[in-house]
Amino acid sequence: MNGLIVKDLGMTYELPNGGSVEALRGVGFELAAGEMLTVLGPSGCGKTTLLNIVAGFLAPTAGKVWFGVDGAKPVTAPSRERGLVPGREPGLVTAPGRERGMVFQQGALFEWMSVADNIAFGPRMRGAGKKEMKDIVEQYLNTVGLAGFGNKAIYELSGGMQQRVALARCLANEPHLILMDEPLGALDALTREKMQSLILKIWNDTGKTIVLITHSVEEALMLGQRLFVMAPRPGRIEREYRLPFASRGLDGNLREIKTDAEYVEKREEILSMIWEMEEEIMGRQERAS
Amino acid sequence: MKWLQIALVRLGLRRSGEDARKTVSFGDPAAARGGYFWSFVSVAAVFALWYVATALQWTTPIFLPPPSDVWEQFHATATEGFRGYTLAQHIGVSVYRLLVGFALGCLIGIPIGFSMGLSRVLRGFFDPIVEFMRPIPPLALIPLMIIWAGIDDKPKIILLFLAALWIMVLAARSGVQSIRLSKIHAAYTLGASRTQVLFRVILPNSLPEIFTGMRVAMGVCWGTLVAAELVAADVGIGFMIVVGGKFLETGLVLVGVIVIGVIGAAIDVGMRKLEARLVPWKGMG
């Protein structure tokens, strides 16, 4: 019931000089509850635009997004809690809502709050009591492996630890869908791999639906049950994969999987696909100038 | 000898840790940190030069009285007073004007700056007023203030208020606009309302820039204070300096100047301490 339906999304920006840019065209897919989707593509392919539309930060110029409804039929009454306005189409995404959480690349934590206060932010906003917040903080500090760090200041933590806090802050609000915008983009390779395991584990333990955007082909292959490769101008879904590696990564060694023949083959295939897209963009730019 | 080592490090005469092993120090910010010993040297040098210059009579006392005369003058104004008020009273009145004007500037300037940072309409509305008023030196407004507000405390406070106002408007505006959009987005996805976003995200995020603005405004207010007390005043540090200048009582002028310098520096140090306490994350985002 907590599935995501994205239908025929299009996004055309009007430019101040009267022209327009088509950032997305005809993007549509359905994501079942508990699925993990990764989205990959060269810069300018509209993957962040897509995520921002699903989060409710941007209104698309064509198409619609529904969340939390079965097919097009409502399974729950519309409520403000779900970011929905009574009387409107049930499940239609028109604004950010607490059922769709988001983890950003670094810099979205609140530096003026302690780690604990960052994690308790969502519960506090809905008016949770002191005791409840304390329990929630405790629980999610444990989930992300930061037990005992509650009183630390954000700027005292390393980049990897900060992203753990960001993950805990998002989870503490109990969203049904978690959107991740290159959450590991600024981390070093080792920390990144640890965080990938953590994301897999959380996905498995909580059964959340996750959409993760990344620049890294390896990460997209490793984490995604489903993987979209997007192409630019206009942004669209070029290829879709269904992958076994995320489920295997749960009880296996991530690095072992990364040397697996199937994994390597897919990686090379996608890399050359993106390589070609980049080449084409460069060529177009050269011709234009 | 451990205490000596600690003392030397504190005074900036000895480097410690990695700094002590660096082969390249020219251009390294750490090389220019904490030279407190040299601060003592500079203060001592100024007094020494002052003393020598007067003792050897390089100048006349009207031009530069010796330190002892200035000290006596200080003592006299502190105990007997000057023109019916003791030094403490002159200082009290000046600091009162300063703080009221400055506080009003903050109280009104910060909300205006916030509204400009949050709304296109209010930004457009206030922009010409701010841009027009900002470059006008407060001193140029003194005649107007006297015509409009008379000669008591009011015109002086209004002048100080205006000196602080535009600085605080701009500081608050840029504080609001310095936020990363992802922080705002994060707050909304976590279920915050607009009011909650304003008070729990935008406001604390802008505090570092507001603090910087307050320190700048405080400096400018001191500069304006003496000018505000130039005209039609009968009490205040600025008044004391002006009268001292008129009657060639150089000692009195120096007492006023030193008092302003010391109080101004003390307030700035206090504000820096407060800043370190209230916005420890400054520059760490």
Q: Is residue A271 situated within a structural domain? A: no
The span from the CA of B192 to the CA of A101, in Å, is 12
Residues A25 and A157 in one domain: no
Amino acid found at A128: A
CATH code at position A247? 3.40.50.300
Determine the residue of chain B that is closest to A57 in CA distance.
Answer: B185
pLDDT of residue A18: 87
pLDDT at A289: 66
Q: Is A90 found in the same domain as A16?
A: yes
Q: Do A108 and B182 touch (CB under 8 A)?
A: yes
Asked if B183 has any chain A CB less than 8 Å from its own CB, the reply is yes
Q: Do B204 and A110 touch (CB under 8 A)?
A: yes
Asked if the C-beta of B199 comes within 8 angstroms of chain A's C-beta atoms, the answer is no
Q: Which of A158, A221, A223, A154 is nearest to A187 (CA)?
A: A158
Q: Would the CB atoms of B190 and A121 count as touching at under 8 Å?
A: yes
pLDDT at A80: 47
For residue B113 the two structure tokens come to 């700056």
Based on the fold, state whether residues A157 and A85 are members of the same structural domain.
Answer: no
Report the pLDDT value the prediction gives residue A136, as an integer from 0 to 100. Answer: 95
The minimum CA-CA distance between A78 and chain B, rounded to whole Å, is 16
A-chain residues near B182 (CB < 8 A): 104-105, 107-108
Same domain, A125 and A35: no
The DSSP bridge pattern shows strands A236-242 and A226-231 to be antiparallel
Cβ contact (<8 Å) for A173 and B191?
A: yes
Q: Does B194 touch chain A (CB under 8 A)?
A: no
Domain that holds residue A134: 107-174
pLDDT, one tens digit per residue, over B111-148 is 999 999 999 999 999 999 999 999 998 888 888 888 89
% of chain A exceeding 70 in pLDDT: 92
What would the pLDDT profile of A235-268 be if each residue is shown by its tens digit?
Answer: 999 899 998 888 887 777 778 888 888 889 999 9
pLDDT at residue A71 is higher than 50: no
Give the mean pLDDT of A24-37: 92
Residue A6 has pLDDT above 80, yes or no: yes
Nearest CA in chain A to B193: A125
CA distance B155 to B230: 12
The structural domains of chain B, with segments of one domain joined by +, span: 79-278
| Same domain for A190 and A161 | no
Nearest CA to B214 among B153, B157, B170?
B170
Same domain membership, residue A116 and residue A85: no
> Quick one: A94 and A44 in the same domain?
yes
- Domain boundary at A174, A189, A209, which? A174
By CA distance, what is B183's nearest residue in A? A108
- Enter the CATH code of domain B79-278: 1.10.3720.10
Give B285's pLDDT tier (boundaries 50, 70, 90): low
- For A199-240, how does the pLDDT look when each residue is reduced to its tens digit (9 = 90+)? 999 999 999 999 999 989 999 998 999 999 998 888 999 899
Question: B279 CB near a chain A CB, below 8 Å?
Answer: yes
What is the average pLDDT value for chain B, to the nearest integer? 91
> Mind listing the pLDDT tens digit for each residue in A168-196?
999 999 999 999 999 998 889 889 988 99
Where is pLDDT greater, at A12 or A89? Answer: A12
CB A64 within 8 A of CB A92: yes
Decide if B281 and A102 are in contact by the 8 Å CB cutoff. Answer: no
Say whether residue B23 is in contact with chain A using an 8 A CB cutoff.
no
CA distance B211 to chain A (A): 14
Contact between B182 and A107 using a beta-carbon 8 Å cutoff: yes
B187 touches chain A (CB under 8 A): yes
Say whether A121 and B192 touch across the interface (CB within 8 A): yes
B24 pairs with which residues across the strands?
Answer: none
CA distance B192 to chain A (A): 5
Buried/exposed code over B193-230 (b: 16+ C-beta within 10 A; e: otherwise): eeebbeebbbbbbbbbbbbbbbeebbebbbebbbbbbb
- Contact across the interface for A154 and B281, Cβ inside 8 Å: yes
- pLDDT reading at A2 higher than 70: no
User: Is pLDDT of A97 > 70?
Assistant: yes
User: What is the rounded CA–CA span in Å between residue A211 and residue A229?
Assistant: 13
User: Does A124 reside within a domain?
Assistant: yes
Minimum distance, in Å, between the CA of residue A101 and any CA atom of chain B: 6
A159/chain B closest Cα distance in angstroms:
12
Q: Name the residue with higher pLDDT: B190 or A260.
A: B190
Task: Give every CB contact of residue B161 below 8 A, 6+ residues apart in sequence.
Answer: B100, B101, B102, B104, B105, B108
Residue of chain B with shortest Cα separation from A117: B200
Quick one: how far is CA A214 from the chain centroid? 9
**What is the spatial distance between Cα B241 and Cα B251, in angstroms, rounded to a whole number?**
10
Structural contact between residues B82 and B139, judged by C-beta atoms closer than 8 angstroms: no
ipTM of the complex: 0.89
pLDDT at A276: 87
Confidence grade of residue A113 (pLDDT, cut at 50, 70, 90): very high
Question: A257 with A230, same domain?
Answer: yes
The answer to whether A39 and A53 have CB atoms below 8 angstroms apart is no
What tens digit of pLDDT does each residue of B35-81 get?
Answer: 889 999 999 999 999 999 999 988 888 889 999 999 999 999 999 98
Kindly list the residues of chain A whose beta carbon comes within 8 Å of any beta carbon in chain B. 55, 57, 96-98, 100-102, 104-105, 107-112, 121-122, 125-126, 153-155, 169-170, 173, 175
Tokens read off for B149: 């507000």
Are residues A78 and A126 both part of a single domain? no
**C-beta separation of B25 from B31 below 8 A:** yes
Instruction: Report the pLDDT value the prediction gives residue A83, as an integer from 0 to 100.
Output: 47
- What pLDDT shows up at residue A74? 41
Cβ atoms < 10 Å from Cβ of A94 = 14
Q: Quick one: DSSP state of residue A78?
A: -
For the cut 50, the answer to whether the pLDDT of residue A79 exceeds it is no
Q: Tell me how far apart the terminal alpha carbons of chain A are, to the nearest angstrom.
A: 50
A-to-B residue pairs, Cβ atoms closer than 8 angstroms: 73
pLDDT tens digits, one per residue of B248-281: 899 999 999 999 999 999 999 999 999 999 898 8
Locus of tokens 């049950």? A225
Per-residue pLDDT tens over the stretch B208-252: 999 999 999 999 998 888 888 877 788 999 999 989 989 989 999
Would you call B187 and A169 a contact, using CB atoms and an 8 Å cutoff?
Answer: no
Of the partner residues B180, B189, B200, the one whose CB lies closest to the CB of residue A98: B189
Is the pLDDT score of A84 beyond 70?
no
Indicate whether A121 and A82 sit together in one domain: no
Which site among A99, A112, A182 would you substitute to test the B interface, given the most B Cβ atoms closer than 10 Å to its Cβ? A112
CA distance A219 to B258: 65
The number of distinct structural domains making up chain A is 2
The candidate with the shortest Cα–Cα distance to A178, out of A92, A99, A82, A64, is: A99
Please provide the average confidence, as pLDDT, over all residues in chain A: 87
Q: Give long-range contacts, CB 8 A cutoff, 24+ apart: A257-262.
A: A257/A222, A258/A218, A258/A222
Across the interface, whether the CB atoms of A111 and B281 are under 8 A apart is answered yes
Residue B194 has pLDDT above 80, yes or no: yes
Residue A255 lies in a domain: yes
- Based on its alpha-carbon atoms, the radius of gyration of chain A, rounded to whole angstroms, reads 20
Say what angle helices B87-118 and B153-177 make with each other, to 10 degrees: 40
φ, ψ (nearest 5 deg) of residue A118: -60, -45
Distance from CA of B9 to the nearest CA of A (A): 25
- Residue B188 with chain A: CB contacts under 8 Å: 57, 96
How far away is chain B from the Cα of A109, in angstroms, using its nearest Cα? 7
Q: Residue A88: what pLDDT?
A: 62
Task: For residues A118 and A83, state if they share a domain.
Answer: no
pLDDT band at A68 (very low <50, low <70, confident <90, very high): confident
Q: Could A55 and B185 be called an inter-chain contact, meaning their C-beta atoms sit closer than 8 Å?
A: yes
Same domain for A69 and A182: yes
Residue type, A207: G
Q: Encode pLDDT of B69-99 as tens digits.
A: 999 999 999 999 888 899 999 999 999 999 9
Nearest-by-CA chain A residue for B191: A98
pLDDT category of residue A76 using cuts at 50, 70 and 90: very low
Segment among A81-90, A115-124, B76-85 with least mean pLDDT: A81-90
Assess if residue A33 is contained within a domain.
yes
Based on the number of CB atoms within 10 Å of its own CB, is A181 exposed (0-12), middle (13-18) or buried (19 or more)? Answer: buried
A140 pLDDT tier (thresholds 50, 70, 90): very high
Identify whether the C-beta of residue A39 lies closer than 8 Å to the C-beta of residue A228.
yes
The answer to whether residue B276 neighbours chain A at the CB level (below 8 Å) is no
Q: Is residue A18 included in any domain, yes or no?
A: yes
Q: Does B68 touch chain A (CB under 8 A)?
A: no
- Judge: B189–A55 Cβ closer than 8 Å, yes or no: yes
* Phi/psi of residue A222, nearest 5 degrees: -70, -45
